[in-house]
Amino acid sequence: MTDLMIRRATEEDLPAIVAMLADDTLGATRESPDDLTPYRTAFARIDGDPHQHLVVAERAGRTVGTLQLTLVPGLSRKGSIRTIIEAVRIHADERGSGLGTQLIEWAIDHSRDLGADLVQLTSDATRTDAHRFYERLGFVRSHYGFKLPI
Amino acid sequence: MTDLMIRRATEEDLPAIVAMLADDTLGATRESPDDLTPYRTAFARIDGDPHQHLVVAERAGRTVGTLQLTLVPGLSRKGSIRTIIEAVRIHADERGSGLGTQLIEWAIDHSRDLGADLVQLTSDATRTDAHRFYERLGFVRSHYGFKLPI
């Protein structure tokens, strides 16, 4: 395997990121990779917010993974800063390659650099492989995640 | 009951907010209400971030509830904006008064005003009363929440 680079996403990465969001059991019904317009608007919002860190993993010039890290300052736990990992996707060709681990480890290291004390994420209850993956990396499944579409 | 006002928190609310964070089964072991210094630092971080909405509920001049709403722009779900509710606390004297419902309904309405499509939160697996409460309000317990202290 050639070297992996994890770097800030640019607008040029959008087609590859959206393709990965859509190439997923749950994402397939929720995304519209043929029309990037809403994603371009959303990218501008993310890119303009200093607390959002949207990254891609690139190998041999191909975009093979992505995640978004959000910094959330809070009062609880003596004023802790926490980060939230969202939208983790690994290209189908790279699943099982250890890239997921490298991306999450990047997110943990970057969270430390940002002054965070806690990294958190939610995972759909049906993604049992993902749950084992996060537990192997030291995450504790202590919470339930609730969602309300509005 | 006199009228309730939900408003943006100010630094003057910190002693009351921190007392509520500490007056909690889990919070009791994690907070230091006798030393507000770390909370003042954290409040400045929250107050300076336009995507954080830290509010208090006030009744008859007393601070009786709090929550923090965070806006997170994302790419997934066609570039949806989501909000995350954290640090919901109700003063012991007000539990069972419907204040929790009013606070969460405020958060939902405010999320809509901010352009969000989805409201999400996590709740510790031991807080079974809270889970029923969120489900009554329409939230779906579809996810597991994972945390990693760093």
User: Taking phi first (over 0 means left), then psi (-120 to 50 degrees means alpha), and beta for anything else, what does residue B87 get?
Assistant: left
pLDDT value, residue B6? 96
- pLDDT at position A32: 86
Average pLDDT, integer, range A36-49: 96
How many A×B Cβ pairs under 8 Å? 218
Consecutive H or E run containing A92: none
- Contact A147/B140, CB-based, under 8 Å? yes
Residue spans of the domains in chain B: they are: 4-136
- Residue B1's pLDDT is 59
Please answer yes or no on whether B73 and A38 come within 8 Å at the CB atom: no
Helix (H, G, I), strand (E, B) or coil at A75: coil
Chain A nearest-CA residue for B9: A75
Nearest CA of chain B to the CA of A19: how many Å?
11
- Confidence (pLDDT) at A3: 86
Residues 6+ apart with CB under 8 A from A55: A6, A7, A8, A9, A66, A67, A68, A69, A103, A106
Percent of chain A surpassing pLDDT 90: 84
For the residues of B23-88, what is the DSSP string, one character each? SSTTGGGT--TT--HHHHHHHHHHHT-TTEEEEEEEETTEEEEEEEEEEEE-SHHHH-EEEEEEEE
Is B81's CB within 8 Å of A45's CB?
A: yes
Contact residues on chain A for B65, CB-CB shorter than 8 A? none
Under the banding of pLDDT at 50, 70 and 90, the label for residue A29 is confident
Q: Could you give the CA distance from residue A143 to residue A121 in angstroms, rounded to a whole number?
A: 10
**A14, containing H or E segment:** helix A14-22
Residue of chain A nearest B112, judged by CA positions: A150
pTM exceeds cut of 0.95:
no
CATH superfamily placement of domain A4-136: Gcn5-related N-acetyltransferase (GNAT) (3.40.630.30)
Q: Give the CA dihedral B111, A114, A74, A133, nearest 10 degrees.
A: 70
Element containing residue B125 per DSSP (H, E):
none
- Quick one: pLDDT at residue B138? 97
Instruction: For tokens 């030393």, name the residue.
Output: B35
Q: The complex's ipTM?
A: 0.93
Count of C-beta atoms within a 10 Å radius of residue B29:
8
Specify which residues B73 forms β-bridges with. Answer: B81
Q: A120 and B116: CB-CB below 8 Å? A: no
Nearest to B143 among A74, A123, A149 (CB): A123
Average pLDDT along chain A: 94
CB contact burial B2-16 (16+ within 10 A = b; e otherwise): eebebeebeeebbeb
- The answer to whether the CB of B148 falls within 8 A of the CB of A137 is yes
Contacts of A33 in chain B (CB under 8 A): none
What is the distance in angstroms between the Cα of B1 and the nearest Cα belonging to chain A?
28
Q: What is the mean pLDDT of each run of 10 residues along chain B (150 residues)?
A: 88 96 82 92 96 96 96 96 96 89 97 97 95 97 97
Phi, psi (rounded to 5 degrees) for A96: 85, 0
Mean pLDDT of the A75-86 span: 96
The pair of structure tokens assigned to B63 is 């601070």
Distance between A98 CA and the closest CA of chain B, angstroms: 19
